[in-house]
């Protein structure tokens, strides 16, 4: 709720001209992802809406084209619950585009009942972390070739809400499942992934690919559908009173994806909160050994599920 009172340090008007830039935004047919797509399209960006629901997304593509007069908006199907779909999406992108300047790993699920992805991985861990790790690795060579470029992964303040260890070996065990704890763990993973990728890029000598993550804010959206009906009850009343809008929720990731300050200040491997403010991760997300542990676990898991995966190109 504190996000409601935070100072807006970035605005849609602050977004620079993005003509010639190519961006991918996962989960961009609704919520803050859709807002990001719309506002970046207004600035001339070529935007790929990476979503699962074709019918819904095509309508959003046409809506954005009409609102912005920008025809360089398209849908490419991506199902984050399927690593095969992630691979197919990346192949299609690389066949159509020679450059990629912005990747926003925005899509996510929150506190849903226990379930498994098509690859047998727990739903929240699969969607929020594993698929985005795999997607980023498959697109990393194009992002490196297109520098200066950006990778933004959407985490959450919820990363600080669990005091338990990640316990990766039991991450898909239904007996160990608690939907709130699991969501928190997936958001911890977003931060650990960002830290490790930024470190690896630095070691490789790549200083103009800016990798960061953010807490978008406590937003009044359907992300809470597994906890309460967003249209009725006391929580609906509180959300209208204290939660921020989807427009405000998009600001911090838009800052990291588009602001010239990111390059000017050399912002890499950082965690930002509303609205474009640097912050410090807590708990497991700040642990020194966890980034490499998670990286190895995730790479091994993807190789197990996708035997032709040659591993991270970094």
Residues with a catalytic annotation lie at 183
Cα–Cα distance for residue pair 155/163, rounded to 1 Å: 17
How far is CA 61 from each of CA 70, 72, 141, 257, rounded to the nearest angstrom? 10, 10, 27, 20
Evaluate whether 118 touches 126 at the Cβ level (below 8 Å): no
> What is the DSSP secondary structure assignment for residue 120, as one 8-state letter?
S
Cα–Cα distance for residue pair 78/85, rounded to 1 Å: 6
Beta bridge partners of 122: 116
Cα–Cα distance for residue pair 197/203, rounded to 1 Å: 10
Cα–Cα distance for residue pair 142/100, rounded to 1 Å: 6
Q: For the chain, what's the residue count?
A: 314
């Amino acid at each position: 709720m504190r996000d409601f009172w935070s100072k807006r340090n970035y605005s849609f008007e602050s977004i620079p001209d993005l003509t010639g830039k190519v961006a991918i935004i996962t989960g961009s047919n609704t919520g803050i992802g859709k807002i990001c797509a719309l506002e970046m399209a207004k600035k001339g960006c070529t935007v790929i809406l990476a979503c699962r629901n074709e019918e819904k997304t095509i309508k959003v593509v046409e809506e954005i084209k009409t609102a912005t007069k920008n025809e360089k908006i398209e849908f490419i199907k991506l199902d984050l619950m399927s690593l095969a779909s992630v691979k197919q999406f990346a192949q299609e992108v690389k066949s159509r585009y020679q450059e990629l300047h912005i990747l926003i790993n925005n899509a996510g699920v929150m506190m849903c009942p226990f379930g498994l992805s098509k690859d047998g991985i727990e739903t929240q861990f699969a969607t929020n972390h594993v698929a985005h790790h795999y997607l980023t690795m498959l697109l990393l060579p194009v992002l490196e070739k297109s520098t200066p470029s950006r990778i933004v992964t959407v985490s959450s303040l919820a990363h600080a809400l669990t005091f338990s260890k990640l316990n990766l070996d039991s991450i898909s065990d239904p007996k160990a499942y608690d939907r709130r704890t699991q969501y928190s763990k997936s958001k911890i993973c977003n931060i650990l992934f960002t830290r490790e990728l930024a470190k690896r890029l630095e070691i490789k000598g790549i200083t103009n690919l800016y990798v960061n993550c953010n807490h978008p804010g406590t937003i009044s959206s359907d992300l809470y559908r597994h906890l309460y009906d967003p249209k009725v009850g006391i929580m609906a009343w509180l959300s209208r009173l204290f939660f921020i809008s989807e427009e405000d929720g998009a600001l911090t990731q838009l800052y990291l994806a588009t602001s010239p300050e990111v390059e000017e200040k050399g912002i890499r491997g950082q965690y930002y909160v509303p609205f474009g403010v640097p912050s410090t991760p807590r708990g497991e997300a700040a642990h020194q050994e966890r980034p490499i542990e998670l990286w190895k676990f995730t790479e091994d898991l993807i190789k197990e599920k996708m035997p032709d995966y040659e591993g991270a190109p970094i």
